[in-house]
C-alpha cells in the first residue's frame, strides 16, 4: 500500500487483556527485540531506543521491582516512549523520556476498551475495529496557529497525544495523569569547565550504547553535528555521511571534521528536484500521519540515508538555551513566547483564543520549573519545539531506521535542565564541551554559522573560503547551494482551489485571506503581504498547504 508510512510495511502486534490494549511493532532486523517483553505476567512495550539499560528485558526486570506502579522518577536514558502493563492490577502506565520527541497516543472512544500506542492512525483503527478513518475538521484550524495542535488533539477522531509532562495511567474504569518529574532545576552554579567535562562524559555514555545495527553518522557542518562528532571520536571507527555535493562549503567542512574525528566519510547527494511540491506534501503527511509542520521541500533528508543502518543524529538546541537565547528586550518572556509560537495577524480570533488558552494551561503546569527570568522560554522550547515540532522529524525517520540521538538522550536533557541559562545562551557550554572532548574539532569553522561566545562571522567566512581553496580541494566542483522550487504560487493556488477552502477561510484572519486571494489571482501584494518577512509568509503558506493536503490526498481518502 504505497500511500502508507514505511513502518506499516510490517505487521503491528497487539497485546490485549480485558479492556486494555497496546499496539506496537517489533524492531525490524534486530534479533531478540520483539514488540513486547513479558515478565511475570507484566508486559513492556518500548518505542524508540533505550540508553542506560541494555535491553527491554533489563528494564522490565527493574520495573517489576515496584509491584504496585512503575517508578517514574528513574531515568532509563535514551529517546523513547514506554508502556508498562500490569494485568494483575488491570492497569497500563505510559510515559516518555524528556524531551518528548517519541510520542504516545491514547483513544478511549470505544466504550469497550482503551488503546495506547506510538502511531495515531493505528490507535484510531484499533479503537474503531476497522481500517477506516473518521477525521476531525477542527484539526485544520488547530494546527494553523503553530504548525501543530497545542492541545494534543490529532486529525483522527477520538485520538489524543499523551500530555508531554505527565504519565498516563489507564484502568478499566478510569484514565488519569501521574506525576512524572522531568527535571530538578536550580542546581548550584558550578565552574563552566566542570560542567563541560560532565556534559561530555554524559554524551559519550549516551553514544556508547552497543549498536543494534551498523552505525551511520549523519554529519553536517553545524554545531550540533560537531558536538556529536566530538563524542563519537572517543568511541572508535564509525562511518559518516554528508548530504551534499563535493566541493560545496558544507561538505568540505564535514570532510575536515571526519578527518579530525577519525571517521570514514562519504558524500552522498540526493537529487529530488523533480518531485513536485504536492508529491512532497503527500510524502510528509504519510510519514507523520498528519502531524507534520515541516517544509515539504526538505523530504530529501529522509531519503538520503540507508534504511538498514542505525542512524546517529539529533537536535541540540537545549545546550544553547532554546528560545531563551533570542533577545526579548524588556518584554515579558511569556508575551515573547506567544509571538514565537503563533502570529496574531495570521489566524482568526477563534483559532488564536484556543492557542492562547492552551499556552496558559501549559504555563500553570510548568510553573515550578521557572526558576530564572527566561526559564519559560527554555521550557517552551523543550515542550513545543522539541515535543511537537521535532517529534514530527522523529516520526519521519521511524520505521526506516533505528535512531540513536545522543543530544536528546533523557539523561542528557535532565542534566541540561540543571545548567544555568547564562552558560547555554552564549554557547559557552557546547563550545567548551567540544574542546574538552576533541580540541581539534573546536578549531574547524562552522558552516554559515559561528560560535556565539567566540567567533566573528566575517572571520568564519574567510576560514571557510580558505578551506575550499586549499590544495586538497582544488579539483573539487564549485557548485552553488541548492535551491528548491518557489513554494508561494503553488501553495496559494492549491489553497484557494482546495475542497477545504471554507474551513481554511474560517481559520485564517480576514486580512490574511484577502492577501492570499490577491496573491493567488496575481493582483499584486498589498501592504500587509509586502511587509511580512518572506520566511514568516512561506511558513504560514506551508502550514495551510500541509493541512489541506492532509484531507485531500489519497492516503486518507483510501480509508474515509
444-487 pLDDT, tens digit each? 999 888 888 876 666 666 666 666 666 555 444 444 445 555 55
More confident residue, 129 or 468: 129
Report the share of the chain in percent with pLDDT over 90. Answer: 23
Q: How confident is the model at residue 432 (pLDDT cuts 50, 70, 90)?
A: very high
More confident residue, 29 or 73: 73
Q: How confident is the model at residue 262 (pLDDT cuts 50, 70, 90)?
A: very high
Q: What is the mean pLDDT of residues 528-546?
A: 76
Q: How confident is the model at residue 185 (pLDDT cuts 50, 70, 90)?
A: low
Q: What is the mean pLDDT of residues 340-346?
A: 79
Q: What is the mean pLDDT of the chain?
A: 81
Q: How confident is the model at residue 173 (pLDDT cuts 50, 70, 90)?
A: confident
Sign of the alpha-carbon torsion through 142, 413, 218, 255: positive
DSSP state of 108: -
The confidence score (pLDDT) of residue 341 equals 82
Q: What is the mean pLDDT of residues 419-445?
A: 92
Contacts of residue 299, Cβ cutoff 8 Å, sequence gap at least 6: 272, 275, 280, 283, 284
The confidence score (pLDDT) of residue 10 equals 63
> Taking a C-beta distance cutoff of 8 angstroms, is the pair 392, 292 a contact?
yes
The confidence score (pLDDT) of residue 505 equals 83
CA–CA dist 420, 9 (Å, integer): 45
pLDDT exceeds cutoff 80 at 398: no
The confidence score (pLDDT) of residue 268 equals 82
Torsion of CA 138, 140, 142, 147, to 10 degrees: 170
Q: How confident is the model at residue 136 (pLDDT cuts 50, 70, 90)?
A: confident
The confidence score (pLDDT) of residue 282 equals 76
pLDDT exceeds cutoff 90 at 299: no
More confident residue, 400 or 362: 362
Q: What is the mean pLDDT of residues 493-512?
A: 79
> Taking a C-beta distance cutoff of 8 angstroms, is the pair 258, 237 a contact?
no
pLDDT exceeds cutoff 50 at 1: no
Query: What are residue 283's DSSP bridge partners?
Result: none
CA–CA dist 47, 349 (Å, integer): 38
Long-range pairs for 551-554: beta carbons < 8 A, 24 or more residues apart:
551/135, 551/137, 551/140, 551/499, 551/500, 552/498, 552/499, 552/500, 553/3, 553/281, 553/282, 553/285, 554/3, 554/282
> Taking a C-beta distance cutoff of 8 angstroms, is the pair 120, 131 a contact?
no
Residue indicated by cell numbers 526538505: 298
CA–CA dist 113, 126 (Å, integer): 10
> Taking a C-beta distance cutoff of 8 angstroms, is the pair 344, 352 a contact?
yes
More confident residue, 182 or 175: 175
The confidence score (pLDDT) of residue 258 equals 96
Stated pTM of the model: 0.89
pLDDT exceeds cutoff 70 at 197: yes
Worst-scoring range by mean pLDDT, 196-210, 223-237, 287-301, 491-505? 287-301
pLDDT exceeds cutoff 80 at 389: yes
CA–CA dist 318, 79 (Å, integer): 15
- Residue ranges of alpha helices (H) inside 370-456 are 375-380, 391-397, 410-416, 421-425, 428-437, 439-443
The confidence score (pLDDT) of residue 201 equals 96
> Taking a C-beta distance cutoff of 8 angstroms, is the pair 362, 155 a contact?
no
Q: How confident is the model at residue 45 (pLDDT cuts 50, 70, 90)?
A: very high
Domains located in the chain, CATH noted: 6-179 (3.60.20), 192-319+396-473 (3.40.50.620), 323-381 (no CATH), 488-557 (no CATH)
> Taking a C-beta distance cutoff of 8 angstroms, is the pair 406, 228 a contact?
yes
Nearest Cα to Cα of residue 103 among 127, 122, 85, 126: 122
pLDDT in tens, 85-121: 999 889 999 999 999 999 999 999 988 889 999 989 8
> Taking a C-beta distance cutoff of 8 angstroms, is the pair 356, 150 a contact?
no
More confident residue, 317 or 329: 317
DSSP strand E in 376-514: where?
402-404
pLDDT exceeds cutoff 90 at 84: yes
DSSP strand E in 88-245: where?
91-96, 105-107, 114-117, 159-161, 166-171, 174-179, 215-218, 239-243
The confidence score (pLDDT) of residue 478 equals 45
Report the share of the chain in percent with pLDDT over 70. Answer: 81
Q: What is the mean pLDDT of residues 535-553?
A: 77
Directed axis angle between helix 333-341 and helix 349-366, to 10°? 130
Q: What is the mean pLDDT of residues 214-243?
A: 92
Q: What is the mean pLDDT of residues 16-37?
A: 75
The confidence score (pLDDT) of residue 237 equals 87
pLDDT exceeds cutoff 90 at 225: yes
> Taking a C-beta distance cutoff of 8 angstroms, is the pair 3, 9 a contact?
no
Amino acid at each position: 500500500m504505497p500511500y502508507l508510512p514505511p513502518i506499516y510495511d510490517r505487521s503491528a502486534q497487539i497485546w490485549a487483556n480485558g479492556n486494555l490494549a497496546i499496539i506496537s511493532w517489533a524492531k525490524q532486523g534486530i534479533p531478540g527485540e520483539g514488540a513486547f517483553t513479558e515478565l511475570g505476567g507484566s508486559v513492556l512495550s518500548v518505542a524508540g531506543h533505550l540508553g542506560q539499560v541494555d535491553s527491554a528485558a533489563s528494564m522490565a526486570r527493574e520495573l517489576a521491582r515496584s509491584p504496585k506502579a512503575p517508578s517514574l522518577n528513574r531515568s532509563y536514558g535514551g529517546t523513547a516512549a514506554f508502556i508498562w502493563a500490569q494485568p494483575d492490577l488491570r492497569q497500563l502506565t505510559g510515559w516518555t523520556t524528556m524531551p518528548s520527541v517519541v510520542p504516545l497516543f491514547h483513544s478511549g472512544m470505544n466504550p469497550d476498551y482503551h488503546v495506547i500506542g506510538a502511531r495515531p492512525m493505528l490507535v484510531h483503527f484499533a479503537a474503531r475495529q476497522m481500517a477506516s478513518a473518521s477525521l476531525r475538521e477542527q484539526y485544520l484550524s488547530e494546527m494553523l496557529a503553530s504548525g501543530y495542535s497545542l492541545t494534543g488533539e490529532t486529525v483522527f477522531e477520538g485520538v489524543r497525544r499523551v500530555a508531554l509532562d505527565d504519565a498516563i495511567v489507564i484502568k478499566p474504569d478510569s484514565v488519569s495523569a501521574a506525576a512524572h518529574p522531568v527535571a530538578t532545576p536550580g542546581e548550584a552554579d558550578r565552574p563552566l569547565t566542570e560542567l563541560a567535562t560532565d556534559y561530555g562524559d554524559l554524551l559519550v555514555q549516551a553514544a556508547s550504547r552497543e549498536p543494534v545495527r551498523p552505525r551511520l553518522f549523519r554529519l553536517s557542518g553545524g554545531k550540533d553535528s560537531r558536538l556529536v562528532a566530538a563524542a563519537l571520536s572517543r568511541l572508535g571507527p564509525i562511518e559518516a555521511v554528508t548530504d551534499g555535493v563535493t566541493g560545496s562549503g558544507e561538505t568540505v567542512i564535514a570532510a575536515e571534521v571526519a578527518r579530525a574525528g577519525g571517521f570514514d566519510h562519504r558524500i552522498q547527494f540526493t537529487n529530488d528536484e523533480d518531485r513536485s511540491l504536492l508529491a512532497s506534501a503527500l510524502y510528509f503527511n504519510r510519514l507523520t500521519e498528519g502531524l507534520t509542520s515541516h517544509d515539504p521541500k526538505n523530504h530529501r533528508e529522509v531519503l538520503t540515508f540507508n534504511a538498514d543502518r542505525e542512524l546517529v543524529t539529533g537536535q541540540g538546541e537545549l545546550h544553547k538555551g532554546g528560545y531563551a537565547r533570542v533577545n526579548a528586550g524588556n518584554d515579558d518572556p511569556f508575551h515573547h513566547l506567544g509571538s514565537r509560537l503563533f502570529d496574531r495577524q495570521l489566524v482568526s480570533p477563534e483559532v488564536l483564543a484556543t492557542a492562547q488558552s492552551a499556552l496558559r494551561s501549559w504555563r500553570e503546569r510548568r510553573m515550578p520549573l521557572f526558576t530564572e527570568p527566561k526559564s519559560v522560554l527554555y521550557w517552551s522550547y523543550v515542550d513545543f519545539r522539541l515535543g511537537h515540532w521535532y517529534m514530527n522529524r522523529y516520526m519521519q525517520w521511524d520505521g526506516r531506521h533505528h535512531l540513536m540521538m545522543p543530544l536528546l538522550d533523557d539523561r542528557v536533557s535532565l542534566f541540561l535542565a540543571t545548567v544555568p541559562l547564562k552558560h547555554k545562551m552564549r554557547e559557552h557550554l557546547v563550545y567548551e564541551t567540544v574542546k574538552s572532548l576533541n580540541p581539534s574539532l573546536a578549531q574547524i569553522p562552522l558552516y554559515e554559522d559561528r560560535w556565539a561566545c567566540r567567533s566573528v562571522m566575517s572571520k568564519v567566512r574567510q576560514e571557510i573560503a580558505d578551506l575550499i581553496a586549499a590544495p586538497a580541494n582544488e579539483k573539487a566542483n564549485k557548485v552553488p547551494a541548492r535551491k528548491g522550487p518557489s513554494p508561494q504560487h503553488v501553495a496559494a493556488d492549491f489553497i484557494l482551489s482546495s475542497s477545504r477552502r471554507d474551513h481554511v477561510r474560517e481559520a485564517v484572519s480576514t486580512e490574511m485571506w484577502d492577501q492570499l486571494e490577491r496573491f493567488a489571482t496575481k493582483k499584486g501584494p498589498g501592504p500587509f503581504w509586502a511587509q511580512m518577512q518572506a520566511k514568516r509568509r512561506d511558513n504560514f503558506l506551508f502550514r495551510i498547504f500541509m493541512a489541506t493536503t492532509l484531507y485531500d490526498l489519497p492516503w486518507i481518502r483510501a480509508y474515509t
